[in-house]
Amino acid sequence: MSHVPRQIRLGAFLMQTGHHIAGWRHPGAQADAGSNFQHYVALARQAEAAHFDAIFLSDSSGIRGTDQASLARTARSDFFEPVTLLSALAAVTQKIGLIATVSTSFHEPYNVARKFASLDHISGGRAGWNLVTSSGRTEAQNFNRDELDEHALRYERATEFHDAVLRLWDSWEDDAFPRDKASGIYLDTAKLHLPDHRGKHFRIRGPLNVARSPQGRPVIVQAGASEAGRALAARTAEVIFVAHQTLEEAQAFYADIKNRLPAQERQPDDVKIMPGIFPVIGASLAEAEEKFEQLQELVDPAVGIALLSSTLGNVDLSGLAPDDPVPTLPETNGPKSRQQLLLDLARRDGLNVRQLYLRIAGARGHQQVVGTPSQVADFLQHWFENGAADGFNIMAPWLPGGLNDFIAHVVPELQRRKLFRTAYEGNTLREHLGLKRPAHPAAYPAYA
């Protein structure tokens, strides 16, 4: 049997007009991307033609931030509901995986299970669910709440939410629906497994009214890096999207997650770790740096401070001036790992408020790579081959141009190095990622 070398996994993280906070102002950006379906059709088809593993859509059940000055200058207030969008994109693509974010904080397991099982059927086995807990107070205020639940409680709920969704997805065995016209038997009730989930947060009888999906279950994606997030990821995730500032941080996270898996009766290959990468690409390093600086110059101070406030955990920075030092902050009830990452970055590099918001204006705390195609490929290869990543989630600075640059110039370089596929090996997201199709469990024990 011929040995197939380990290959980089690639996701295209599609953020409306691009990931740079001022990306919508770039001359080549699709300014109306948030409500332009054909924009997403073109991006999905381009990523599929380049043999990306998946496209990924983040989401929030609300507009983050209430500062009017920054809201007026930011392209983050109009965007499609992601499962709806991916269902439409499934009809105009054939191979590429389709991953959407849906929070466990303000949804119910039955609805989420039904949506993603349906997407998996519609797409022929290409669905993935990015399981997150909500981190914004403005989201809570859209669901009869004034504040978010405490961080620990959100993760406790998320863990049970995941378990309930899996039980619902396994309501039916793979061949439970013979639909035999001659005998008159539409379904084999012996192959029904009633979820009957009874936990602290949810009581769900079931079964799900969608047959078991082509992948057995959609792929589970997770993004938390706090201790609670790591514990949840080791138990539930098949793909982890994560942010790191240094190779050493990435290596430590990678080793920590892989080392936690045996206790969950899982193998290292059962989880793919894919850090976010924000690439700005030029024919020369000077050209790439010039492209990046042109974007940086478009960042309005009000937008930068509002972005910093949100990314640090929705803390009030309204009294700060851009040249002020980054203050000491109390621990957030929002995204704890991201707050710590940014505070560590500010202390390590001696950054003031302006310098810190400019540092995250594109990558949001993810790794930023500015250079030639070869330099970007060098970076990805180094992390991939040195225990820091199984692949990368590509965060284009502006869209469509930033993704086009990566596809046109970096993908061929990775292929030349035999680090990335030149054709899809299968049809489902699990096959693209090298993940096993889960067997149907004989039975679930009573939930405790």
Q: What token pair was written down for 149?
A: 């639940």
3-state secondary structure of 362: coil
Parallel/antiparallel/unpaired status of strands 391-394 and 272-281:
parallel
Give the tens place of pLDDT for each residue, 358-377.
888 888 888 999 999 999 99
Q: Is the pLDDT of residue 135 over 90?
A: no
Contact 240, 271 (CB under 8 A): yes
Given pLDDT bands bounded at 50, 70 and 90, which one contains residue 1? Answer: very low
Q: Is the pLDDT of residue 3 over 60?
A: no
CA pair distance 5, 425, nearest whole angstrom = 13
**Sign of the torsion formed by the C-alpha atoms of 393, 399, 400 and 404:** negative
CA pair distance 323, 360, nearest whole angstrom = 16
Ligand-binding annotation for 59, yes or no, is: yes
Q: What percent of the chain has pLDDT over 90?
A: 70
Q: Could you check whether the bond before residue 268 is cis, i.e. omega within 30 degrees of 0?
A: no
Ligand-binding annotation for 101, yes or no, is: yes
pLDDT of residue 228: 84
Given pLDDT bands bounded at 50, 70 and 90, which one contains residue 2? Answer: very low
Domains, in order of start, for the chain: 9-281+367-441 (3.20.20.30)
Instruction: Please count the other Cβ atoms lying within 10 Å of the Cβ belonging to residue 376.
Output: 25
CA pair distance 264, 151, nearest whole angstrom = 23
pLDDT of residue 120: 98
CA pair distance 393, 300, nearest whole angstrom = 27
Q: Is the pLDDT of residue 176 over 70?
A: yes
pLDDT of residue 336: 67
Ligand-binding annotation for 118, yes or no, is: no
pLDDT of residue 408: 98
Phi and psi for 76 in degrees, rounded to 5?
-135, 20
